[in-house]
Chains A and B, each alone.
Chain A
Amino acid sequence: MTQRDNSYAAVMARKNEIMKTSTGIDYNTYAQSAIAFDYEKMMADTGYTHEEIARIQSETKVGNTPLYELRNLTAAVRRISPPGKGATILLKDEAANASGSFKARRASVSVFEAAQKGYKGVIAATSGNYGAAVASQAVQRGLKCIVIQEVYDSRGVGQPEIIEKGRKCEAYGAEVIKLTVGPELFYIHLLTLEQTGFFNSSLYTPFAVKGVETLGIEIAHQVQERYNRKPDAVIVTHAGGGNLTGTARGLLAAGCADTRVVACSVDLSGLHMASDTDFNKKSFTTGHTGFGVPFATWPDRADVPRNAARSLRYMDEYQLVTQGEVFYVTELLTKLEGIERGPAGNTSLTAAIAMARQMDEDQIVVVQETEYTGAGKHHNSQLSFARENGIEVRRGDPSENFPGKSIVIPENLSQVMGRPQDMIQLRQSYLKNAAKQLPVASWSEADVQFLAEDLKTDPQWIRSQMGSMTGE
């Protein structure tokens, strides 16, 4: 047998072949052009109904999580809001899933699929909760698991939160490949898939996103049952886009067409995600703009050729919050509501507080996830680590936060404001990225239609943008 060329360039060149073998999906069958593809067919071809997904998930301790009304926090928000304002804030306690986060939903169908198709193991490339989720699901389905994680800078230093995430994967019996900073993680991912023949339990396959749809469905049913109405807004912490896409699709499937779907990320603008020196200057490892913006404005940068997580297809608004605001709200959740939860859900909770102040008292805003917390994965760990790495930590006006330099924790609840991103700019940025795949002059009617759907807009708006992009 001849030895395969395992150099960086050679492995990257085998990307499509490796993806096909490791996901069982031939993405070429859905492609219509360099831009357009049949998204709904790709999602439908997974073959799983919502009832089947709920059954698969109930077998492995996923789903049917509690929905809590945050009474004390809602009351506090009403005290600082104009008369008649201050929506009820609900929290979906996704930390109750096996492995402690909503990512168990995302892993469940994927790992089930891998077991059905006879793969001996699964591989996930992630520094987040997803690794632990895949490991936890794999052990329940009798599969081996490898998690590929970006952990260290070149000094061998990792943030406490990332170290904890790696520990959790190993706790569930996974092999964890711990890497230094860099996009070459994808190379190791491909090489390991090829060497093991394991299933690519990517965050971005249709299986992963379908698994999250039950989250939206549960929210719709729980709110309807208890409040006899549909949620007015659902806030989703946004990074790669799967959480938002799956939740929104579930809400739509449950008849919540008028519910506002709001993305929220921690603002880390100015920090480079592939920079060795910036790596440990951020106090959030995910749910931040370093993933949220690039994945929104070009989803097909993921580890599969066509990403099933397409956030702008479903997003109505995009709120930014500062690190300091999230840490303040995390402490408030603990002290006022009597529960400790990790950073991911507290990011969207921060935006929910800012939004609830503008909404009517009889309206409902849902924070759609929580995650577990503990040593390393805790705001005190992250703040202490930030201080050790020369970041200034103080109380004050959160608008003075400077990612990588200072974390300013609000002095009172009125200072928790968030900041909306311009949706039009995000859509324009997406179109510019699309033009890099296929020149605007070559966009067909099918491309225009696809882009309109992918950006939750209409073909007329796409055409008007095409004019300015080509200088006409």
Chain B
Amino acid sequence: MALSNLSLTIGNGEFVALLGPSGCGKSTALNCLAGLLPLTGGSIFLDDRRIDTLPPERRDFGMVFQNYALFPHLTVRQNIGFGLKIKKVAKSEIERRVTAAINLVQLSLHADKHPSQLSGGQQQRVAIARAIVIEPQVVLMDEPLSNLDAKLRHEMRSEIKRLHRELGLTTVYVTHDQEEALSLADRLVVLHDGKVQQIGTPEDVYMNPVNSFVADFMGYRNLISMDLLAGGSAGNYSLRAPGLELTASNLFSGSAAGKVRVAIRPEDLFIENTSGNSISCTVKSVEYQGKDFAVEVSTAQGITLHLRTPKKLEVGQSTNLTVASDRVLVYPDSDA
């Protein structure tokens, strides 16, 4: 997978998540960092030391793999101690640090088992302990939670967050799960087709995606083609589509009068009569999702919209939606 023009400076102790759909180049970026894939151009510096010319064993990066890649013939203790043994750390010191790491990931009851005797979540803990026990300059994590079931994924996410807080290790984390990235990272890097789309804090990327690709990926399910009327000004841009009129507060760079793409998050559409844009429509389908309902509605002219609401609606019922004009995001049409 090709990757171009990824330029990123990561601060000490920072947790950076590379986020994107599969095939976007995020794992490539991580493998290049680790030295498992060669760079065809560019360079990597650690502090002032250039490291992209070094083989992986001399980079001092700990890595957690998607399938854990534990050594099946070694016990949990030996797996975790492997890096220290290679670095020729004294036996007593290895013993002490491995025991500390085992306690840190709460595996003291399983220290002498082999990986095949452990559950997926326990194997993942071993993989994490093995990567951090060598006290690497940077920890790289390649979709470490994608093989776990939903409940365990949540637990391990808190675990990773806790370890990062306790140890303050600089971490680069690759994932395709936006929720995971939002909850863990200090900073997000959204990738698509090997190109950086946006770099920013989770709030920033979530609330203000810079283009319609990022918006779509961050859960702005309603992407509508509309016309932007000429002559608007900040706080008051008029948008038109057959049977639909909206006002937006801001435009994202590149948007000009004419065809544009409008993104609205399902969570920003409300049934209650609040101020802002008003859309009248008919309910098409209702999905019960526990804490709320996912509802699909359609305007008279056939524009489909998705929203979430705690209120139980009936299919076929007419309703009125509102959306605040600062939550109507306008992007140029070309970058769809």
**Does chain A bind chain B?**
no
Binding site for B on A (CB under 8 A): none
Binding site for A on B (CB under 8 A): none
